[in-house]
Amino acid sequence: MVVSTKNKLYLNFIGGNWITSASNDTLKSIDPANANEVVGYVQNSRKEDLDLAVAAAKKAQNEWKKLTGAARGQYLYAAANAMEKHLDEIAECATREMGKTLMEAKGETARGIAILRYYAGEGMRKVGEVIPSTDSEALMFTTRAPLGVVGVITPWNFPIAIPIWKMAPALIYGNTVVIKPATETAVTCAKIVECFEEAGLPAGVLNMVTGSGSVIGQGIAEHPDINGITFTGSNGVGKKIGQAAFARGAKYQLEMGGKNPIIVAADADLDQAVEATISGAFRSTGQKCTATSRVIVQSDVYEIFKEKLLEKTRDITIGNGLREGIWMGPCANENQLTTVLSYIRKGIDEGATLLSGGERVTHGDYKDGFYVQPTIFDNVTTEMTIAQEEIFGPVIALMKVDSIQQALEVANDVQYGLSASIFTTNIGHMLSFIDEMDAGLIRINSESAGVELQAPFGGMKQSSSHSREQGEAAKEFFTAIKTVFVKG
Ligand code: NAD
């Protein structure tokens, strides 16, 4: 398989077959580094395509759940091996669809493979515990049952890792899956599905239906035969999905936005803090849910930190992520570019000082891409829009505080609570941060972005529906506990 095939048509994957949508219509996935370049055409599916996929998943579920966890695990190992074989191709496709650098895309693909292997092994691990009964003649224990058919709705920012960190645990615990990826990165998803096909996964166990969020995404949320929905994306969409799922009694899990702070204490290693800020805020063009968005610095070191940050920002090379030496690619799509530029405008209008960047890059090779400069605002205060709302772009809001206590208050003064980071050498500050910071991921002397696949991942406050993904935590969502009481 070679990704450089242009204008390729990608079909839905339903019941083990690649199928054209009933609509006979397609949606375009384009390269954000060059909007004239089409990466692929994917199906603009209708509700009836989704119905077919759900029926296939429902039909396959009983046989799939009857397999041992070890047997299901073998399919996941085989899919991981297939992905390893196609790593370069998948990564290149992700860069072409989403814009992140090839190095990042390769790292993400390797992570996807590691996630598959982790969950393959999970098929051999415990699913319950024995609980002493008050009846001396009884045995009481818990076991776990799959939910049934699980709907997976994913965003474009991690087009490989997120689908896999949802599908792998869903599958290993005996569920069957219908996935609807973001259209912007649906070709990458098709390539992942191809790896499962190559692994010989039984027909109907994994199905992919591409299409618009309002038809296929909402269709998943409302489908009476989908028992669980796992979603990652924006808060507005997440809440709609949650409401639709709740209304019909389906289980749901929502991972949503962030407004992640980094606190830089006066005693911090400033060079380390600058490196982490640059990486957290600008890698993937700021389009990680855990990206650093607010940098809250103690006044004693504010000016020197700012100078160091500006100096390092100047070294950032922007361009097509496929090219050698490029550190930051374009925004993933035109909408995102427009959103980022409108937040920059708001920052200026509300009185923040634009220190660096702030503009779209359009000259020469950049003219057909969705490029924006890495941007730093100074004198940002908590009530400003750029201090409150998720931008999802390469924009830093610098905020000055006098004390760590004030830094914590500022850091917590948002609706989100996904990830938060502090740079300090003071153990007291570290402990206060662990205790008082409202975030699902607490990072000390490390950037706000960064997740290990074996650890729970998810946010507090408006960042999630309060469940956790990845690691063993995934078991909580993808299974239901049964308490068993046995008397001879
Ligand atoms: P989005 O909410 O626009 O789309 C996500 C998915 O939902 C896509 O597949 C989309 O087609 C679908 N969708 C759109 N409208 C729908 C509807 N009415 N019903 C059902 N599905 C619908 O998000 P995006 O722009 O693709 O991704 C960016 C967002 O994702 C950011 O807010 C980011 O913070 C968030 N995100 C969160 C995490 C996390 O783990 N917390 C990780 C990555 C991204």
Q: Is 6:41 a contact under the CB 8 Å cutoff?
A: no
Lowest mean pLDDT among 1-10, 197-206, 449-458: 1-10
Pick the CATH number of 12-256+464-487 from 3.30.70.60, 3.40.50.300, 3.40.50.12780, 3.40.605.10: 3.40.605.10
| Distance from the alpha carbon of residue 404 to the mean position of ligand 1, in angstroms | 34
DSSP for 420-482 reads EEEE-S-HHHHHHHHHH---SEEEESS-S----TTS-B--EETTBSS--BSGGGHHHHHEEEE
Expressed in angstroms and rounded, the spacing between residue 214 Cα and the centre of ligand 1 is 12
Let me know how long the chain is.
Answer: 488
Q: Which tens digits make up the pLDDT trace of 260-300?
A: 999 999 999 999 999 999 999 999 999 999 999 999 999 99
Q: Is 255 in the active site?
A: yes
pLDDT at 3 over 50: no
The DSSP H or E segment spanning 120 is: helix 102-122
Residues paired with 17 in a beta bridge: 14
Q: DSSP label at 325?
A: T
For 486, phi then psi, to 5°, come to -120, 130
User: Tell me: domain 260-452, CATH 3.40.309.10, correct?
Assistant: yes
Domain ranges of the chain: 12-256+464-487, 260-452
Is the C-beta atom of 416 inside 6 A of ligand 1? no
Decide: 183 and 212 in contact? Cβ < 8 Å.
Answer: yes
What's the average model confidence in pLDDT over 385-404?
98
User: Which tens digits make up the pLDDT trace of 77-119?
Assistant: 999 999 999 999 999 999 999 999 999 999 999 999 999 999 9
- Ligand 1 site-directed mutation target among 256, 391, 469, most atoms within 8 Å of CB: 256
Which residue's C-alpha comes closest to atom 20 of ligand 1? 217
Pocket lining: 17 vs ligand 1, CB cutoff 6 Å: no
pLDDT of residue 289: 97
Q: Which of 92, 104, 222, 255 is catalytic?
A: 255
Which of 289, 331, 390, 447 is labelled catalytic? Answer: 289
Element (DSSP H or E) covering residue 41: strand 34-43
For ligand 1, the distance from its centroid to the CA atom of residue 458, given in whole angstroms, is 15
The C-alpha atoms of residue 299 and residue 403 are separated, in whole angstroms, by 8
CA distances from 89 to 108, 188, 426, 429 (A): 13, 9, 45, 45
Q: Which long-range contacts (CB under 8 A, 24 or more apart) does 269-274 make?
A: 269/423, 269/425, 269/445, 270/301, 270/304, 270/305, 270/308, 270/423, 271/308, 272/423, 272/445, 273/305, 273/423, 274/305, 274/308, 274/309, 274/312
Q: How far is the CA of 151 from the centre of ligand 1 (A)?
A: 14
pTM: 0.97
Ligand 1 close to Cβ of residue 362 (< 6 A): no
- Check residue 7 and give its pLDDT: 55
* pLDDT tens digits, one per residue of 192-203: 999 999 999 999
